[in-house]
Amino acid sequence: MCGIWGVFEFNTVAATIPIVLRRMSDAMIHRGPDDCGAWAAPQLQAGLTVRRLTILDLVTGNQPLWNEDESVAVICNGEIYNHRALREELVAREHRFRSTSDCEVIVHLYEEYGQDCLSRLEGMFGLAIFDIPGRSLLLARDPAGMKPLYYARTPAGLFFASEIKALLATQLIGAAPDWTGLNSFFSWEYVIAPLTAFEGIHSVCAGESILLTPGSEVHAFFYRVEFASEEKTLSEDDYAARLEMLLDRAVASHLDADVQVGSFLSGGWDSSLVAWFAARRTSKKLKTYSLVFPEEPAESEARFSRLVADQIGSDHQEVEFRTTQIPDLLERVAGAAENPQGSSPSPLLYT
């Protein structure tokens, strides 16, 4: 988990760009303890900052990442799973890379395809690309909406961040409730993007891009879910083989890291399958983690997670959760979630 934030069309005497970026940074230390990179350009009324939790390229992958002549910068919270194939393609087109970071492919891909580069990315991401010659900022969120990205347009400029609390930390954005967003929660137990629980603060939608230029804001979707019909009906064995291939490929793409990879293992079908495919793909013993409930053994799935851990030979650890922890957790969970949660076991996941 990393965190990105920044400002565009900054226009206020209440603070300077570095001061505002520092306020936002202090609110998101928890998202990236390994590095904090910043770029501020008062003459362009813009600034970018990122806190990084290093997964790939621990040494030279610090952000912002630039193209060859430093005319385009990218900051990204996420992982690009097809970065190796994209890198080969871009090197063949004579792009020069400064790091082995998966996110550096984004800035070179932007040079080649402009905004259309987004449809070439496979992964989870919330990103911002600043184009100095074009005087533009491009915000985008991955097709599944796995990585959060929020923004607020104010008289002082447009601010964006991976978390709402960073926007509030600017001291230029108020914390008033958005009743339309809250109404959507009461209807569906979820605040539906682009709404949030906060007035004036919006979420970038899954698969959406926002192109910002001075005085202009253009929203577009670079990805939409489509359900294609099969030309012919496949057998159950064919569907099973296809599903296994897709799961294996998806899990393998998540294992590309320069640090040890672990997996949450609840004992249910989804986490068990992910752990099984991961263990088959890793050269080191996979680390797995489960929550157990000593006070309510009937509700605990520990027997299933232990069975799976034994079968795949993982280095398994159990974390105990007790009801006495809930009062102390609630305030921290609400602060971390930012938007209300109706169906997610937030205190358990926070633990």
Instruction: Give yes or no: 36 in active site.
Output: no
Same domain for 54 and 191, yes or no, is yes
DSSP sequence for 174-236: ---B-HHHHHHHHHHSS--TT--SBTT-EEPPTTEEEEEETTEEEEEES-----PPPSSPPPH
Burial 309-335 (b: 16+ CB within 10 A, else e): beebebebebeebeeeeeeebeeebee
For residue 231, the model assigns a pLDDT of 59
Q: Are residue 271 and residue 152 in the same domain, yes or no?
A: no
Say if residue 177 is in the same domain as residue 300: no
Say whether 340 sits in a helix, a strand or coil: coil
Identify the CA nearest to 101 among candidates 127, 117, 79, 132: 79
Structural domain tally of the chain? 2
Residue 350 lies in a domain: no
Tell whether 210 and 62 lie within a shared domain: yes
343 domain residue, yes or no? no
Give per-residue pLDDT as tens, 28-83.
Answer: 888 766 667 889 999 999 999 988 665 544 554 578 999 999 999 999 999 999 99
Same domain? 20 vs 154: yes
Q: pLDDT tens across 273-321, in order?
A: 999 999 988 888 899 999 888 887 777 788 899 999 999 999 999 988 8
Q: Which amino acid, residue 268?
A: G
Q: First-to-last CA distance in the chain?
A: 16
Domain boundary pick from 168, 193, 221: 221
The parent domain of residue 254 ranges over 236-320
Structure tokens at 230: 């099969």
The model's pTM is 0.88
Helices (H) and strands (E) in the chain, counts: 10, 15
Measured between alpha carbons, how far is 204 from 332 in angstroms, rounded to an integer? 24
The pLDDT assigned to 348 comes to 66
Question: Any idea how long the chain is?
Answer: 351
CA angle 59, 65, 69 (to 5 degrees): 120
Ranges under pLDDT 70 in the chain: 1, 32-35, 52-61, 229-232, 258, 343-351
